[in-house]
A and B are shown apart, each in its own frame.
Chain A
Amino acid sequence: MKFGIPISFTLHAAFLGGGIFLFNETPYIPEDNLIVPVDIIDISKETNVKAAVKRREPEAEREIDIPAAETPLDNADVKDEASKQAETLPEPVKDVPVETAAEPSVDISPETKTPDELPEDTPENLVEAPETPSFSLDDLSALIDRSRDSQPEANQQKVLQSEETLYAFADAARRGAGAGDGLALSQIDALRAAMYKCWRIPADAKDPESLIIPVEVKLHRDGHIASVNLKNAGAIYGSPNPYMKVAADNALRAVSKCAPYDFLPVEDYDSWKHMTLTFRPILSQ
């Protein structure tokens, strides 16, 4: 093997020379401000595959909130301008005739209220209720929604395990798909645009940016409101800041005013059926 060393030398030289030739380009440095067009797409529709098992019926969502009627005695002040002394005395409340102290009567209709929910101390109002019950499109929608939900499912899987386990597996399967929890940005923007029209920002209040009101909203599939509640009602209504209560009322009013949320895609109902809308005024932008 007397040619071993020359052959090895030749091959190494050829390998190195070829390498220098092949990798002789200057390294590519991307430009700083290069704009790369990117399409943002929502893949939730493709990946949000529902588990083929029975889903839990959203029973709680079908309840219609009945606002509690307030008694005038709780909130009525008597201010006597004819006699200045009377203003400082609490006695004038006693002079209030019985009929004016009656609670504001509540429309009584079987769709919205049960006798158990009526105020106990005003039986006479049952008789004096207006003859024509109010016609509420919201209530009607709720009834329609209920009838649809009560339809038996066509392909109900045979239950081999406990229902609770199935519900858990169904949720896990959906989450495992990855993108099924979120709305597309365009839908969130649509929701924000709707709230812009419905919510009067408390710009005139003192320190408006501190008036942060989180509201829990549960929606029916058709976009009507199932329930709307303040997330920390105790802290808000107990706040010494009078603007806080009004900001909370404004936020709740905005959510109700914007209903129905039928612009949200029905196929993504699971994403928006339960939302927290945090009203957080920002004035500086």
Chain B
Amino acid sequence: MTSYVSRKFLSMLIWLGVMMLSAGGAAAQLTIDITKGNLEPLPIAVPDFLAEDARVAEIGAQVAQIVRADLERSGLFNPLDPASFIETQTNIDYEPNFSEWRVIKAEALVSGRIIRESDTRLRVEFRLWDIFGEKQLAGLRFATTPDNIRRISHKAADAIYEALTGETGYFDSRIVFIDEKGPKTNRKKRLTIMDQDGANPQYLLTGSDIVLTPRFSPNSQKITFMSYENTVPQIYLLDIETGRRELLGNFPGMTFAPRFAPDGRSFLLSMVQRGNSDIYLMDLESRSTSRLTSDPAIDVSASFSPDGKNIVFNSDRGGSPQLYTMKSDGSGVKRITFGTGRYSAPVWSPRGDLIAFTKSEGGTFSIGVIKPDGSGERQLTNGFLVEGPTWSPNGRVILFSKESRGRNGSSEVWSVDLTGRNLRKVNTPGKASDPAWSPLLP
């Protein structure tokens, strides 16, 4: 009996020892938290797309150049100089020689080719490789016509952007803006559209009427804008495909600041009646309007949240112009800014997480963002006159107007990303203002 007890006790001790050893072994593994990283753009190699003959090779070089330019402009990528490439791929279906791309410090590689299927049809194929992970991240193929090669290039850049950042790209999109000609005292303003990289600019209206605040519909096919065509400024709707233009309601007072609802079936506008400006919702089909605010203060510049449930707007009901949110039926009004200065032109991000705005304080204007609950306000850029923010389709970049001081001061469109570090002038044919960024093209 005694030997049985001692054996049992011994086996328990051994078991306890084994458990302690294994627990100790698990604890021995070193665990380190990495909380800080850099914000350097990702080095990416985009060689010219391969081609079977010289004529197609020219297109291959053009595609690669457009992709490189798109990625570089985003501020997230650093396209490497093709002259530094060591490996020359001849077939994109083989794995690249990763070690040779590591030598030039590339972290991603785009290898593509163009295949001519007929005189009117091209096939564009590419693979995106993770050089350090040594794996393919994306492989895509597009069929297109030769005259559509720029759009396909933007689509390729969008796919690369998405594979490497996790969010949809914004390169296959367009910008509508007001082209300005002449001095400030006698300036002609014309509605113009172009690709987001500045290519293919076109006037949308032939006349010389002053137009302002163009805004895209969610399907990118229609634009609302305010025009001084009549003595009283009114809101119009323009179909880009057909060129058809129509007046949206004949209201007694001034209407302005139109902005589509996310479903595209209605839009918000500000209307002045008896000296009081309020926000209205107009149904596009029935053309009926419903009033959302009824405060004696000035309520303007309403913008829907991407889910259509909330609206942000600008009001001076608290004294100075500040930003407020409310539900889409006009209830639950809540002030979200309390800073000094004057807030205006709020726009809800397509991602839903931020609201961009213009702020003026002490003679300086700035473009900033704030969370919808009023927290996290920060300034992205400032200047003599910066105003009118508009979001890229993925909610990462903001376009805005920038005007410089003086009688003949320039009027330009600039972009800034959410970090505030990537500030760039957008290529426009001449002086430009009041940009509106389209959603991704269908």
Q: Give the interface of A toward B (CB within 8 A).
A: 67-70, 72, 75-82, 86, 92, 96, 100, 102-107, 128-130, 134-138, 168, 171-172, 175, 181-183, 188, 191-192, 195-197, 199-207, 242-247, 249, 252-254, 256-257, 270-272, 274-282, 285
Contact = CB atoms under 8 A, between A and B. Distances in A.
B330 to A, nearest CB: 28
Contact of B136 (A70, A79, A171, A197): A70
Nearest to A188: B32
20 contacts: A69-B95, A75-B140, A77-B141, A103-B93, A104-B127, A106-B95, A130-B94, A134-B98, A171-B25, A182-B30, A188-B32, A195-B34, A202-B166, A204-B167, A205-B166, A252-B133, A256-B132, A272-B30, A278-B32, A281-B35
Contacts of B33: 278, 280
Contacts of B164: 246
Contact of B138 (A75, A205, A247): A75
Q: Which 3 A-B pairs have the closest CB atoms?
A: A201-B37, A246-B166, A199-B37
Contacts of B141: 72, 76-79, 96, 100
Nearest to A253: B132
Nearest to A83: B143
B349 to A, nearest CB: 10
Contacts of A200: 37-40, 42
A217 to B, nearest CB: 9
Nearest to B35: A282
Contacts of B98: 134, 136
Contact of A249 (B18, B120, B137): B137
Contact of A134 (B34, B38, B99, B120): B99
Given A104-B136, A243-B166, A253-B132, A134 B30 contact: no
Given A206-B167, A276-B30, 16 more contacts: A69-B95, A82-B144, A82-B148, A134-B97, A171-B21, A171-B28, A181-B27, A183-B30, A199-B38, A203-B39, A246-B163, A246-B164, A246-B165, A275-B31, A275-B32, A276-B32
A280 B142 CA distance: 37
A254 B37 contact: yes
B93 A104 contact: yes
Interface residues of B, number: 63
A257 B132 contact: yes
B263 interface: no
A207 B164 CA distance: 17
B155 interface: yes
Contact of B36 (A192, A245, A252, A278): A192
B130 interface: yes
B167 A242 contact: yes
B76 interface: yes
B353 A206 contact: yes
B310 to A, nearest CB: 18
Contacts of B52: none
Nearest to A215: B34
Contacts of A277: 32, 34
A79 B95 CA distance: 24
B297 interface: no
B24 interface: yes
B418 interface: yes
A243 B36 contact: no
B107 interface: yes
B425 interface: no
B133 A172 contact: no
A81 B35 contact: no
B29 interface: yes
